[in-house]
């Protein structure tokens, strides 16, 4: 039954009220509709008194929102906003019906100076550390570093063609083990993989002499020439305490594998003692970089300006493979990475030479019929 001076319905445009709040609201609404509770005249008196005091309630006057039974009621949207802002609903003065908290009340509460949190004046851990000055020390290049700087700077003008392939060294590993354990080899140097690879490269150069050539631009810079070289002076890139150096083994074409191993050991000893002669360091025609002795599977070696090809040898690894019957077997493999001067050497030539070299390494017995 409608009461005189009471609203017919209550429409909440901000959202629906939680079921628990709705039960509480229904109970208090019945109490508000009782003729013995004259709330409207009381509200009018409180508003008139507030206007007389300039809109400010007396200090000893309790807030209506705090005393109201509806002050803790809010729509789900408002409750979600309070949760996001980490605000207690009891701290917000509600201006809605019976002191309910509205979104505008939450916004006004966050904008008030009393609710604004004062940031901590203590410095953050990242800023609390004292800043240290970067120390820089200038060092002159060593003679080897200076020579490497000039050589590699010249190499930057050469367009490199890169090519890599996996080579099966299982048979070579078995042959190497047999030769190193053979009784007659007691007084001979231990054979690593490198002497076999150097000899196989020399045999492959007999078929592809262009990879042993150099480009002559000094005679006529407008019309460069390709100079073929008969001797295979194969350089070996060596890591020394002073830096990278590349001595070369002279005339590999005429040397046996044991002679190549002895020459590598001689050059290595002289390099570590810084006693290499200019003859050891000049006249190279092609280079082998055995980076796999330190580590690494693939490499993109840099050409020397006096050469048109270089070979990088990766670390030996064990890989699964299929035999002729389809069974999975263990295989020892290395990756050979080539770089060639693409101004005069095309990719097909590099690939064909790499295949010839791979044939010699994978079947080392085939080198025997080509040795001189």
Q: 72-110 burial string, b = 16+ CB within 10 Å, else e? A: bbbbeebbebbeeeebebeebebebebbbbbbebbeebe
Q: From residue 188, how far is each of 89, 181, 183, 324, 367 by CA, in Å?
A: 92, 11, 10, 37, 20
Contacts of 76 (CB under 8 A, 6+ apart): 15, 16, 18
Is 346 a residue of the active site? yes
Q: Is 169:334 a contact under the CB 8 Å cutoff?
A: yes
Tokens of 94: 């509600």
Q: Is 197:173 a contact under the CB 8 Å cutoff?
A: no
Q: Which of 10, 91, 206, 346 is catalytic?
A: 346
Question: Within its chain, how far is the Cα of 262 from the centroid?
Answer: 42
Q: Which of 18, 165, 239, 342 is catalytic?
A: 342
SS3 call for 215: strand
Q: How far is Cα 205 from Cα 211, in angstroms, rounded to an integer?
A: 7
DSSP string of 60-109, one letter each residue? TSPPHHHHSTTTT---HHHHHHHHHHT--GGGSPP-SGGG---HHHHHHH
DSSP annotation of 339? E
Helix count (H) and strand count (E) of the chain? 12, 11
SS3 call for 303: coil
The alpha carbon dihedral of 7, 8, 12, 13 has a sign of: negative
Is 223 a residue of the active site? no
Q: How far is Cα 100 from Cα 22, in angstroms, rounded to an integer?
A: 13
CA torsion, points 193, 194, 197, 202, in degrees to nearest 10? -150
Report, as residue numbers or ranges, the catalytic residues. 342, 346
């Amino acid at each position: 039954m409608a009461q005189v001076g009471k609203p017919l319905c209550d429409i909440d445009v901000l959202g629906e009220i939680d079921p628990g709040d709705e039960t509480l609201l229904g109970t208090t609404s019945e109490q508000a509709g009782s003729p013995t509770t004259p709330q409207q005249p009381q509200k009018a008196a409180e508003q008139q008194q507030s206007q007389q005091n300039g809109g400010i309630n007396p200090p000893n006057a309790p807030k209506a929102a705090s005393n109201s039974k509806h002050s803790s009621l809010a729509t789900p949207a408002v409750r979600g906003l309070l949760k996001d802002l980490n605000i207690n609903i009891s701290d917000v003065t509600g201006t809605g019906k019976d002191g309910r908290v509205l979104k505008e009340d939450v916004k006004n509460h966050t904008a008030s100076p009393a609710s604004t949190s004062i940031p901590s004046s203590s410095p953050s851990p990242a800023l609390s550390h004292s800043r240290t000055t970067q120390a820089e020390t200038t060092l002159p290049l060593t003679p080897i570093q200076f020579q490497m700087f000039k050589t590699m700077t010249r190499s930057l003008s050469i367009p490199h063609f890169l090519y890599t392939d996996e080579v099966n060294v299982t048979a070579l590993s078995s042959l190497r083990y047999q030769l190193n354990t053979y009784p007659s080899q007691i007084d001979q140097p231990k054979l690593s993989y490198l002497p076999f690879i150097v000899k196989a490269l020399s045999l492959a150069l007999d078929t592809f002499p262009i990879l042993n050539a150099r480009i002559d631009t000094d005679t006529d810079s407008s019309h460069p020439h390709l100079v073929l070289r008969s001797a295979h002076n194969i350089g070996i890139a060596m890591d020394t305490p002073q830096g990278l150096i590349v001595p070369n083994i002279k005339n590999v074409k005429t040397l046996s594998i044991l002679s190549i191993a002895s020459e590598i050991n001689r050059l290595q000893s002289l390099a570590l003692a810084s006693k290499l002669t200019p003859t050891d360091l000049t006249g190279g025609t092609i280079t082998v970089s055995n980076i796999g002795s330190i580590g690494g599977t693939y490499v993109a070696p840099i050409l020397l300006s006096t050469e048109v090809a270089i070979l990088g040898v990766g670390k030996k690894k064990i890989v699964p493979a299929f035999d002729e019957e389809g069974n999975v077997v263990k295989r020892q493999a290395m990756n050979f990475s080539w770089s060639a001067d693409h101004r005069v050497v095309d990719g097909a030539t590099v690939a064909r030479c790499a295949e010839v070299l791979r044939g010699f390494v994978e079947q080392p017995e085939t080198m025997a019929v080509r040795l001189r």
